[in-house]
């Protein structure tokens, strides 16, 4: 149990560091925070990083059996519910952006302006709040006021008082992801038609857009699997607790932690402009560290010889 927790903490630290590195790189160049696809990419990075941090806090509290006030747990779980949906909805928006870039290039600059992108981010958060509003409103209508002052181990399961609430949560998520999958397939088919009809540089650009949409589809699939995990775990919880623990640990590592880091990293590395910016930033940081190390060694040498040397 403790070894598993140590492994999780190491992975969380590594993944948060990688995401932080990508976020810092995003703010290094003006072309990144003024371009729609990079802005949306940064939204997924921030969303995934927040999800990693909060879910890790809950994992630590659960591991060491530390109860907290239910009202505080409600706030944490509300944020988790919203941002669990922000990433897939943002991926859908990124897919639509590629569709506009490939199939409607003359309107891309107008539709994907910085102002429209900010409005798009607000719409993404509004749509992502819909499932949490439905799920938490059923809890607010079922729980008594005294329940909020109690201490409980924080988990989404404490909000599922009745079986119909679980079915409602499942139905909302499945409907939401069905709509996103339809949008993704529509964009993929449209871009594929343009790629077949295009020639030269246009054909190469269309194929790259096609691969990007396919990557978004893979990321969306991981998000769907992630949301199916609680239903599998809740079933195992009532059958065998030991199996439940190991399955939950496996799901958390494979379908929760890894996709939150690897998918953004792959997306960032396959983009040439972002990759070169990341590479130059890392190179600059490495050079700075080497220079500081050389200065430190030289200062030590000077102190030993008692010979002041000006740098």
> What gap in Å lies between CA 25 and CA 42, rounded to an integer?
10
- pLDDT more than 70, % of the chain: 83
Q: Which one, of 176, 259, 250, lies nearest residue 216 by Cα?
A: 259
In whole angstroms, give the CA distance from residue 42 to residue 24: 10
Residue 160 tokens, joined: 């599922």
* CB-count exposure of residue 21 (10 Å: 0-12, 13-18, 19+): middle
What are the Cα distances from residue 229, in Å, to 82, 177, 222?
A: 17, 15, 11
HSE-CB at 101 with a 13 A cutoff on CA atoms is 22
289 has pLDDT over 50: no
* 3-class SS of residue 272: helix
Model's pTM, two decimal places? 0.81
E strand or H helix that includes residue 151: strand 151-152
299 has a pLDDT exceeding 60: no
pLDDT recorded at residue 187 = 86
| Residue 163 buriedness (CB in 10 A; 0-12 / 13-18 / 19+) | exposed
Name 151's bridge partners.
Answer: 69
Model confidence over 209-240: pLDDT tens digits?
777 777 777 777 777 777 777 677 767 766 77
Structure confidence at residue 123 as a pLDDT band (50, 70, 90): very high
The per-residue pLDDT for 25 is 87
Identify the weakest region by mean pLDDT among 40-44, 95-99, 196-200, 242-246: 196-200
Which residues contact residue 125 at a Cβ distance below 8 angstroms, ignoring those fewer than 6 apart?
A: 82, 86
pLDDT tens sequence across 126-135? 999 988 888 8
Tokens describing residue 66: 């530390």
> ∠ at Cα 299 (298, 300), nearest 5°?
90
How many Cβ atoms from other residues are within 10 Å of residue 13's Cβ?
12
Binning the chain into helix, strand and coil, the percentages to the nearest 5 are 85, 0, 15
pLDDT tens for residues 144-181? 778 778 888 887 777 777 777 777 877 888 888 888 88
Dist CA 181 CA 217 (whole Å): 8
Structure tokens at 59: 């994992």
């Amino acid at each position: 149990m403790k070894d598993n927790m140590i492994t999780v903490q190491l992975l969380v630290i590594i993944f948060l560091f990688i995401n932080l590195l990508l976020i810092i790189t995003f703010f290094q160049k003006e072309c990144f925070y003024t371009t729609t696809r990079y802005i949306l990419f940064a939204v997924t990075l921030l969303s995934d990083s927040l999800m990693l941090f909060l879910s890790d806090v809950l994992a630590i509290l659960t591991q060491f059996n530390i109860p907290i006030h239910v009202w505080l747990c409600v706030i944490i779980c509300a944020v988790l519910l919203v941002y669990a949906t922000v990433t897939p909805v943002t991926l859908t928006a990124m897919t639509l952006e590629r569709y506009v870039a490939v199939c409607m290039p003359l309107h891309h600059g107008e539709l994907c302006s910085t102002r429209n992108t900010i409005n798009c981010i607000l719409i993404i958060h509004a749509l992502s709040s819909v499932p949490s509003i439905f799920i938490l409103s059923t809890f607010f209508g079922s729980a008594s006021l005294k329940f909020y002052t109690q201490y409980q181990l924080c988990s989404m399961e404490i909000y599922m008082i009745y079986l119909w609430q679980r079915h409602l949560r499942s139905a909302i998520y499945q409907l939401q992801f069905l709509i996103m999958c339809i949008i993704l397939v529509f964009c993929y088919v449209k871009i594929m038609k343009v790629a077949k009809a295009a020639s030269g540089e246009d054909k190469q650009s269309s194929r790259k857009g096609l691969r990007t949409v396919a990557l978004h589809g893979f990321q969306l699939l991981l998000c769907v699997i992630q949301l199916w995990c609680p239903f599998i775990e809740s079933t195992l919880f009532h059958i065998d607790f030991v199996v439940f623990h190991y399955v939950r640990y496996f799901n958390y590592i494979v379908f929760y932690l890894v996709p939150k880091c690897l998918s953004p990293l792959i997306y960032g590395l396959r983009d040439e402009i972002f990759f070169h910016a990341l590479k130059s930033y890392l190179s600059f940081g490495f050079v700075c560290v080497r220079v500081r190390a050389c200065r430190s060694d030289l200062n030590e040498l000077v102190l030993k010889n008692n010979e002041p040397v000006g740098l």
